[in-house]
Amino acid sequence: MVSGYPILNSCACIFSFIIPLLLTVALLTLAERKVLASVQRRKGPNVVGFLGLMQPFADGFKLLIKETILPSTSSKFLFIFSPIFTLFISLISWSVVPFSEGLVFSDLNLGLLYLFAVSSLGVYGIILSGWASNSRYAFLGSLRSASQMISYEVSFALILVSLISCASSLNLSTVVLFQKNIWFIVPFFPLFFMFFVSILAETNRSPFDLPEAEAELVSGYNVEYSAAGFALFFVSEYCNIILMSSLCVVLFFGGWLSPFPFWEAGFFWFSVKLLVFLFLFVWVRASFPRYRYDQLMRLGWKVFLPLSLGWCVMIPSFVFIYLHC
């Protein structure tokens, strides 16, 4: 970085986050295809590059050089704007995630509130894409996605409130350091289970991939997209998967903290825990069938909402009693 030029320094910091993230997305798509192939007892990508390592880059290059087709009856500006907006939202969410002590782009005191506010804006990009496509399939897919994300964001927020009441801070680095003696996964395993299922629904992943159901909606909200527009939606989805996995690591598994007292904490342990959660996302996709839509809504509103609300009342009550007795 060039000292004395704050704009250049800021751009260098931004690209130092974005480029590794995009490379991780590319390798995650390859790893997902390899794991799914192994589960189904077949070969995954193994032609382009050594062991197929260049396959995601070949796929991305193919999408970028293809012609972008705009439906004649679509709203052209919103049709082009919505995938760009969705990717932008998924990228700016990373600015408050701490990878190690001091290794964070912006260590906000209201980091969790910022993260929740920004992630909720992703619904607008999906609704815009479905409406601007002027297609019944795309619009139904976008409505499904919006209702699903809003339904599970409620329990998602209540779980965050429960953890905040213990750590007494909205700063993600403070939440990690609060787990120095015991990780939150130990006392709050039921919360972790609900949180993990909620982020599966939040990211539209199996078994909650109802907005992209091929059988009834062809491809959901991005059915009219091709080339670069489809690539932007694809990248933003996988960025959100990595982001939610990072949140699991930070909130329940001690972030960069080492599980062994003799091993120094740092970015290595954050990466190891993150890889475990990314594997869980792929494993769930390979193992579980898709839910029906009424089952999805029933789980969110009739099971997770009462349970997360009960924990949200119980945990602050215990903290208050402990501090005043």
**Alpha-carbon gap, residue 161 to 228, rounded angstroms:** 38
Nearest to 156 by CA among 40, 309, 321, 291: 309
Q: How do residues 163-205 score in pLDDT, each as one tens digit?
A: 888 888 889 999 999 998 889 999 899 999 999 999 998 888 8
pLDDT band at 71 (very low <50, low <70, confident <90, very high): confident
Give pTM, 2 decimals: 0.91
DSSP 3-state assignment of 100? strand
**Alpha-carbon gap, residue 118 to 95, rounded angstroms:** 11
**Alpha-carbon gap, residue 291 to 207, rounded angstroms:** 6
**Alpha-carbon gap, residue 158 to 169, rounded angstroms:** 15
Give the model's pLDDT for residue 7. Answer: 54
DSSP bridge pairs for 100: 103
**Alpha-carbon gap, residue 141 to 66, rounded angstroms:** 24
Average pLDDT estimate for 29-52? 88
* Structure tokens given for 283: 């494993």
What is the residue extent of each domain of the chain?
A: 1-65, 68-323
On the question of pLDDT at 5 being above 70, the answer is no
Q: How do residues 246-281 score in pLDDT, each as one tens digit?
A: 999 999 998 899 888 778 878 899 999 999 999 999
DSSP 3-state assignment of 103? strand
Query: Tokens 């705009």 sit at which residue?
Result: 70
